[in-house]
Every structure is written in structure tokens, then in C-alpha cells.
Structure 1
Amino acid sequence: MDAEERIAYLERLGELRGSKVLVYFSYRPLDDTILVPLYKQLKEIGHTKRIDLLLHSYGGAVDTPFKIVMLIREFCDEFSVIVPFVAKSAASMVVLGADEVVMGPVSELGPIDPLVKHPVYKDLWVPVQAVQHCLDYLQRSIVDSPDQDVAISILSPVLNKLDPWLIGDYEKALKASRQYAEALLSRYMLRDNPELVQVVTKVLTEGYFSHGYPIGRQEAKQLGLKVFEADGELWDVIWELYLGYEELFLVGEEE
């Protein structure tokens, strides 16, 4: 799919949705580098009634989603997120700040489990819950051992590598993700159902053990999220755009 075809599909999507459509499609962790180009695009559009964000991301930094939502909402009255395939972790947090999420049969959200950079391997991003699960595992291993002194001696090399300052930062990131999720849900996605805010927050931040757990549109609806199920021409256009952007990324990698 060339650029003209993508533009034509985007224009048709905007017609079908009655919106201005923005696209964020990336395989890199979502972080604050998105904010300046996003602001430039929003300034070009100006204030409009509805903005749709076509979002494909596996997640990223804990603070960025809240900034994205607040920025987009400066320029529109209604904000929706369109998920053609994957919007996980921090990208799912963006969804919580929308008025609705548009999903098809293969669309996936995920648990809210922010990523942090590994303190040694700078190109490696680690789900913060992985650190918590590591600590839980070490504690259980010691408590459940028939000889705790032996268990401690075996696990001591691992324990000695755990920097308390880093653990504190990871714990703050977990608490921040819960705070952001609750704030976004109460202000936007679940503002009409405040009794669900804490329940949904707890499920999304603590209820899944796999970082990659797929929350499809039916499960998202069961959780209480406002899901618009895309079908017919609308879904066909969304899916063709996904394939077009995926092809663009594959070509870029080959080059």
C-alpha cells in the first residue's frame, strides 16, 4: 500500500466516523518523544468535535499515556481510540482516557503493567510487575524452605543484586499506574459508572499474571469499558490501514 492509498483509507475512516483521525503505529516503547510531533499535528488540525487515535503499540513508559490523553483532549470535545490489533500496557492506559474504544474481532488490549528501562541493559525494557513477582518468589522460596538458612545462602547472591533504590522506583511506577488508571477511568471512560472505577483499576493493574494477556472486545465489555464493535466497511477500512502500516514498517526494516 502506497502513501496515496493510506491517505485515501484515512479519509474514508474519518468520513465513516465523523472524526479527524490521528495514527500512532510503532513497535518501539511508547514514551514522551511522541508528544512534540503529536502537538504539531493537533495544532494543524485545530479544535474539532471528535478525534480518533488509530493506535498500535505494545506499551511503554508509565507517565506518557496520561500526557497523550490530556494533550489530545485540549483539541476536541470527544476522543476515541481505534485498536486494529494491539494496544497493550501503557497503550491500554490511553484507551482508559477515551470516551470509547473501537475494536474488531482481533483487537487486543492488555493489563496495565508499565515498562521501565533495565538499570544495566539500557535497551531492555522490563515490566515493573516482573520485579514484584521476583521479590514474591524469593520470599516464598525462603519461607517455604525446610531449611531457611540454606535457602537464604543460596538466594543471597540474587538478593544482593537488588538495589533498594531501584525497587523503590519500581514500586512507585506500580502505584503511579494505578493512580493514572483510576484518574482516567473516573474522568472519562467510566465517568457515568463511578462505582466500577476501582474494580476495573484493580483488575487491569493486578488481575492478570501475563504481561501479554489478550483482552478482546468481549472481555473489555464485560469489564465495563465502552466498546464500539467495528464491523462491515468500518472494520474493513481499519484492518486495511493496519496492514498498510505494518507493510510500511516491514519495508523500512528490510531497507
Structure 2
Amino acid sequence: MDSSADNASTAKIKQPPVLFSKTQALLSRIGKRLNAPVLAYWNSPRGSICHGDVMAAYALLERLGQHETIYLFVKSDGGNGQASLRLMNLIRQHAGQVKLLAPLECSSAATMLALGADEIQMGPMAYLTAVDTSLTHELSPLDRENDRVSVSLDELNRVIGRWNTENSQANLNAYQALFQYVHPLVIGAVDRASSLSVMLCRELLSYHLTDESKIMEIAHTLNAKYPSHGYPIMRGEAKKIGLNVLPMDKQVNDDLLALNLLYGEMGQRATTDFDEFRSHSNEIINILEVEGQQIYFQNDKDWFYRNEERRWITMNDNSNWRVLRSVEGRLRKEVFHIA
């Protein structure tokens, strides 16, 4: 019998911790400090804002009901900007005012989410970022691990601009050279996505701003005026852009940082290695929570390294959304089905 197969069948699969009682206690305390309900929205470094989050948020917001103000705690590196628009639209249907709490990173598509809030409260370590578009296309170039890489419009424009500057005397076409490395359809898709990014920013800002010139100025600044997609926009810079930014109360910030540590513990990688070619991964990557209920997405799958393709492939994928709720003092855990 193959010893590696035997190891796989007998090894105990590691599981990430679920700290529902601790996160609930903190969330309750934060809500009491703010005198309003709090919706927590947390992504691990390997998680991202996605359309599935909207369904999870809807279930939690229906539990909360209608309120004059809802606070939204966000810790995220970004993701899908269209999902950000859907999330903010959904939250605003349940609240007269939305106030966003950012103790840490609130980047890219998460910055878009923040644009839809009436007020952004930022802690000492918080930052927003530019929202210029990059995407991973089916025809994107491959990296050394044979994975598709993301391509940004800013990078493409800089390459073309540099080419035109340094080859101004030569009868050379920048695109002809670029097409050897980046497929024309990828360039077209990135250009289209950039127009979408500006539109999303305008739509989100229009929830609370009426001055169209100010809306366009903020949208243009975030899409085109920063030299790096990850450039950290701190509180002072965010105010200069024209956003309604306030410093966060220290006690609230401290509690949110403590909540982030608990979510970080839940989101740690729980990898079970069977041998050098096979492993099992359990990892919580997205968490949404209100008082009384928590919904999270957990990666739960086997990985197998395929030598001939020089890449890892997944097998036995049982990843899904899961919901935790307190029912009559008991913790109930169920699969949260999203089509």
C-alpha cells in the first residue's frame, strides 16, 4: 500500500478556530459605545470583497432590521468594486445613515465601499488607497508559477508613454511590441474596467453628495492621481481629497483592533501536509457578523501538485459559507447556502 495515501487517510485534518463567543462580546461592547448596531466585515489577506458577501450581509441586515444609523467595520485589501456598490446599496436600505469604521487597511474596492458612507472614521493605523483598476483576465500573461497575473491600466499607460518618449524618432509601434507580452483583449478589458471604476466611484459618492463637480473630482483623483495602486491615503490626505473623514474614538479603535486579532486568529491557515505533493487546506477568509449571528466563508479542500503543469490543483473541494447563531443559549452551526 502507498504510504503517502495511508498518511492522507489517517492524518487528522487541522481546523481553524471559531471564536464566536469572544467576537460577540466585543461586538456588543462596541455597539453599546456607539449606541447603534455594528456590522463587521473582515477579509483575510487571501480573502476579498465578492458578490457572495452581499447574500451574507443581507441575512445579517434582515436580522438587524431598520435603524437610523448603522456602523460598518471594514478591514479589507479590496476585491470586486461592483460587489462594493451592491453591499453599500444594501446597507443603505436598512439605515438612514451609514458610518464606516476603518482601524486598519481599507484598500481598493474597500475604499470604494467607504466612498458610499456618510462618514468615515479612521484610526491611527487606518488608510485608504487609490482605486485604479487592475484585473486578471483569462488571457493574462503567466508568472513563473504558471498562474495568471493581474494587469493594470496605469502600468500599460506608463509602458506606452515611456516607449513613445524613448523611441520618438523611430518608426516603431508601441502596441505591436506590447502585444507580444499582453494580449490585445486584455488591454481592451483593462481599459473598459477603468471606465467602470470611475462610474462606481460616482455612484457610491452620490449616496451622500449632490455636487457633481466634487463627485467627479474625487473619483478622478482616486482613479488617476496616485503613482501606486497601494499608495496609503491617511486621514489628512483623505480630507484633502474631499471625503468626510473623522478621527475614531480611541476606545472604539482599541476594541476594533482586538476584534481584528480574533478574526485574524480565526483566519489563520490550517494546512495539513500529507507529503510534498499533497495537502489539505482549511482557512476562513471572509467574516461578516452582527450581534447574535456570524457568517463566514471557509476554504476546505485538498491540494495536489501536478508536475507536468508545474502548478497546484484542487480536489475534494468542500469550501462553503457557514453560519453561526446563538439559539436559546446554544451555539448552532449550519451551512449557509448561496447559489
1:10-48 deviation line (CA, Å, top 9, x unaligned): 011111112211121113232212111111111122222
- The alignment status of 1:40 with 2:62, answered yes or no, reads no
Which SS does the other structure have where 1:148 is aligned? coil
The match for 1:250 is 268
1:40-62 deviation line (CA, Å, top 9, x unaligned): 11112222222111111111123
Query: What is the Cα-based RMSD across aligned positions, in Å?
Result: 2.6
Structure richer in strand, relative to its length: 2
The match for 1:24 is 41
In 2, the alpha carbon distance for the partners of 1:136 and 1:85 equals 30
Matches within 5 A, 1:1-255: 2-26=19-43, 27=45, 28-120=47-139, 126=150, 130-145=152-167, 148-149=170-171, 156-188=176-208, 190-191=209-210, 195-250=213-268, 252=270
For structure 1, the 5+ residue unaligned runs are: none
Offset at residue 250 of structure 1 (A): 2.1
Is the 1:39–1:71 Cα contact (8 Å) retained in structure 2? yes
- Flag the 1:70–1:196 CA change in 2: closer, same or farther, 3 A: same
1:162-189 deviation line (CA, Å, top 9, x unaligned): 333332221121111111212222322x
Aligned residues: 249
In 2, the alpha carbon distance for the partners of 1:148 and 1:228 equals 53
Which SS does the other structure have where 2:48 is aligned? coil
Structure richer in helix, relative to its length: 1
67-76 or 226-235, which deviates more: 226-235
In 2, the alpha carbon distance for the partners of 1:250 and 1:184 equals 32
- Flag the 1:47–1:97 CA change in 2: closer, same or farther, 3 A: same
In 2, the alpha carbon distance for the partners of 1:94 and 1:247 equals 25
Offset at residue 6 of structure 1 (A): 1.4
In 2, the alpha carbon distance for the partners of 1:239 and 1:219 equals 22
For structure 2, the 5+ residue unaligned runs are: 1-17, 273-281, 283-339
In 1, the alpha carbon distance for the partners of 2:98 and 2:34 equals 11
Is the 1:89–1:110 Cα contact (8 Å) retained in structure 2? yes
In 2, the alpha carbon distance for the partners of 1:158 and 1:224 equals 37
- Flag the 1:252–1:230 CA change in 2: closer, same or farther, 3 A: farther
Identical positions, percent: 27
Is the 1:22–1:53 Cα contact (8 Å) retained in structure 2? yes
Runs of 4+ in 1 over 6 A off after TM superposition: none
One-letter amino acid matched to 1:138: I
